[in-house]
Structure 1
Amino acid sequence: MEKAPKVSNGEVLRAMIKQASLPEAVRLLVQDINDHYEYWDKVKYKPLPQGFTHDDLWRLVVADRKRSDIMVWKKYHIHFALTSAMQLQCHKFDMNFGGSWESSALIPSSHRERYLESSLMEEAISSSQMEGAATTRKVAKEMLRKRTAPKDKSQQMIVNNYQTIQFIVAHKNEPLTQEMLLRVHRLMTYKTLEHEEDAGRFRNNNEVVVENAITHDVVHTPPAFEDLPQFVVELCKFFNDEQPTPFIHPIIKGIIIHFMLAYMHPFVDGNGRTSRALFYWYMLKQGYWLTEYLSISRIIYRSKRLYEKAFLYTETDNMDIGYFVSYNLRVLELAFQDLQSYLQRKIEERKVASTYLNIPNVNERQAEMIKIYADNPKDMYTVKDFQSRFMVTPTTIKSDLDYLVDIGMIKPVPLNKVKRGYVKGDKFDEVVSKLKK
């Protein structure tokens, strides 16, 4: 990646003095560049007013960032400029993601558990796909819902991710310790590493590098493994809010934790998955309950090239983590928009399913079952399929299905001497067509 022009302290000072008399167009351009935290590779192509060069513009950008620069990890010179755009995004997240706002305002309590399960699955699948898991979402979701054993490494990665997220949710209020960090890594990498003994163990050499997946060029060489013991101590203090630092908004702090673990690369493998899990944990620990319902890794997976570039920009531009912070704040925005779209779809689906409540003695869950058969007329479902979908006991599902069999909406199909599946019944189309009239 091309290095940006060097800007000396003297040039920064002169640019700061010059800012007061800048043409409005240039001032707004600098603000826009920093609101999006753009690097030199984009800045050098910006259209400019007469009399300005791109080197001049870059000096103004750097000077503007210096005004609000915060040092967050002195040993590695990790710093960033806290921009107005970042503060606005964090304020919006505070209003939507946590605090005293009740989740029932956005997510109905009767459906919360099912939405949560679906979100956890999406997060587990996407985070694993980021690291090369090749299983499709459909197959992966079916495996997780039915709790079937993973058939290969890709599926094992997804199961590990899912179980790790569940572990974090259960332990979200506990402090981060070295033992907990190793446990999270062990859960995340179980049966997926070339050498199984590397699970839950810090690397003990400097042979680990990060390569471009296509060109195999080295894009990151982590600090020496000898630094890891002290780093882990500092990371735990940072995570647990035990060390005096300038106030950093909790969401930005979570992003810094994500970056630092990935940057230090304390493990032979599984660093990306573990760093995203730590971010997720920190957000929950800080009271951002909505994080449980967001599939953050799905957005990162869709924009993997930008995710990787955010790391590269940081290292190329003197460890300015602002690029990574800005990218991840945008990811959170998109993840929240995805959740809103998902909830709207579910509301529409429930409206359609409510039509089937006009069938005598059919409850809401049975109405949703009928909708599932209407949407997938050739499919067969078992008690276990519906149990995992509706999060109730097998006895409850069996009772629901027995009534639907009695009224001819579905019929049983023997699978073996004990197990049965259920398909559309002989009266299904007739009953449904009458409801539509």
Structure 2
Amino acid sequence: MKSLEENYLSNLKFPPDMIASLRSIGEYKGKEELYTKQSPDVLEKLLESAIIQSAESSSRIEGITAPPERIEVIVKAKAEPRNRPEQEIAGYRDVLNYIHQSYAEIPLTENTILQFHSMLFRFTTTKPSFWKINNNKIIDRNPDGTEVTRFVPVSAKDTPGYMNKLINLYNDYQGKGSFDPIVLVPLFVFDFLCIHPFSDGNGRISRLLTLLFLYLCGYKVGKYISLERIIEESKSTYYDVLLLSSKGWHEGKHNVFPWLNYFYGVLIAAYKEFESRIGVFKGKGHKTEQVKSVIQRSIKPFSIVDIEEACPNVTRDTIRKVLRELRDEGVIKPTSMGRGAKWVKK
């Protein structure tokens, strides 16, 4: 809770570029209601796509993978999980759905966080516990098998006290309106990751808490755009800024601005994508630009179905037309042919 201690928080001096980011986020938030009144059928498809992407990306960040077709049927609850990765993906799905459906009634308490953790592992043989019972550390594994310690979190013995104080500080600030919520949310998430209160699942719980907090503070973009996917697409930067900002955390002498800058960047990227997906581009050719924008963001092979999910208001004929044009321009190329063909950027 070092970032939320009053002597640390009160002395934060935001640089001009970060103030500009906060202003931009505030402007996006102000336009949310207008956007969400448009095309409810499109928004429903975006929500469905975001849940699938979030469950997939947040799990994959932690090395938990499953075939895309299995992830989709599991997230849609059309199949039972049949192995450990699928069980954990199903658990993440359930917490996501709980947040989307009931966020307004979910208080920030120790029990809520423990409930999220229990739900995450509900389909596995892992027994729910309170906080971690053994000390843990965050490590990097080198290609030769050696390990390097990146960060040593709070000890198991001190974790209950740290979590209690972190939650109380956040709720106290929120209740008094002492600080802007968009400042408090990333600081809470960062301190949570530094405490690392569980033996497993800390990263995923932190991303679920991010979604919940943003919902409660009126930033609902995570409902329609997967924040987890954006984090996965910038995973190396995500880990780099966590390392940078965690140095000196135990002493309260850390520099949290690399983390804040990254967090706000993710949020701005989500809002920009949200605007493009609901078709706020005006004038001739805006749907073509939507398709091109999705392709430009792609970091792995994609299919027509992938683009349809990202652009639910664009017809398949339009998507095919754009793919042909980009192929002829040498921007993309097919990696397979026929039904289910995949494409990659050159």
TM over 0.5: yes
CA contact (8 A) 1:210 1:219 kept: yes
Q: Deviations over 1:398-436 (max 9, x none)?
A: xxxxxxxxxxxxxxxxxxxxxxxxxxxxxxxxxxxxxxx
1:259 maps onto 2:190 in alignment: yes
Structure scoring higher RCO (CA < 8 A, sep ≥ 6) equals 2
Taking the TM superposition and a 5 Å limit, the aligned residue runs for 1:183-222 are: 183-192=115-124, 196-197=126-127, 199-206=128-135, 208-214=136-142, 215-222=146-153
Query: Which deviates further from its counterpart, 239-248 or 287-296?
Result: 239-248
| CA-CA distance at 1:256 after TM superposition | 1.1
Structure 2's unaligned 5+ residue stretches are: 279-289, 292-307, 319-336, 341-346
User: Structure 2 length normalisation: TM-score?
Assistant: 0.72
The CA deviation at 1:234 is 2.3
Aligned pair partner of 1:352 in 295, 312, 315 = 315
Q: Is the 8 A contact 2:189 2:209 kept in 1?
A: yes
Equivalent residue in structure 2 for 1:333, among 259, 268, 277: 268
Q: Which position in structure 1 is the counterpart of 2:43? A: 112
Pairing 1:82–2:17 present? no
Q: How does 1:399-414 map to 2 (within 5 A)?
A: none
Alignment of 1:30-109 (within 5 A): 72-74=3-5, 80-97=12-29, 101-104=33-36, 107-109=38-40
Deviation at 1:300, TM superposition (A): 1.3
Contact 1:257 / 1:278 at 8 angstroms: preserved in 2? no
The equivalent residue for 1:181 is 113
d(CA) in 2 for partners of 1:291 and 1:253?
A: 17
1:47 match: none
Residue range with higher mean Cα deviation, 309-318 or 286-295: 309-318
Which residue in 2 is equivalent to 1:11?
Answer: none
Kindly indicate whether the alpha-carbon contact (under 8 Å) linking 1:257 and 1:275 is maintained by their aligned counterparts in 2: no
Asked if the contact 2:245/2:258 (under 8 Å) is kept, the reply is yes
2:205 counterpart residue number: 274
In structure 2, distance between residues paired with 1:332 and 1:99: 14
Aligned partner of 1:290 among 221, 225, 230: 221
> What letter corresponds to residue 83 of structure 2 in structure 1?
D
The aligned length equals 284
Tell me by how many angstroms 1:377 deviates. Answer: 8.4
Instruction: Quote the RMSD (CA, aligned, Å).
Output: 3.1
Compute the displacement of 1:148 (Å).
0.6
- Note the residue ranges of structure 1 that are not aligned, 5 or more in a row: 1-70, 356-375, 380-437
Query: Does the 8 Å contact 1:255/1:325 carry over to 2?
Result: yes
Q: For residues 12 and 162 of structure 2, what CA distance do their matches in structure 1 show?
A: 20
| Deviation of the 1:229 alpha carbon | 2.5
Give the TM-score taking structure 1 as reference length: 0.58
> What is the alpha-carbon distance in structure 2 between the residues aligned to residue 330 and residue 132 of structure 1?
24
Distance between the aligned counterparts of 1:247 and 1:312, measured in 2? 28
Summarize deviations over 1:287-319 as a string: whole Å, max 9, x none.
112221121111211221211111111123631
Q: CA deviation at 1:242?
A: 4.7
Preserved CA contact (<8 Å) 2:58 2:232 = yes
Tell me the SS of whatever aligns to 1:171: helix
Give, in angstroms, the shift of residue 350 of structure 1.
Answer: 3.9
Asked if the contact 2:139/2:147 (under 8 Å) is kept, the reply is yes
Same amino acid, percent of matched pairs: 23
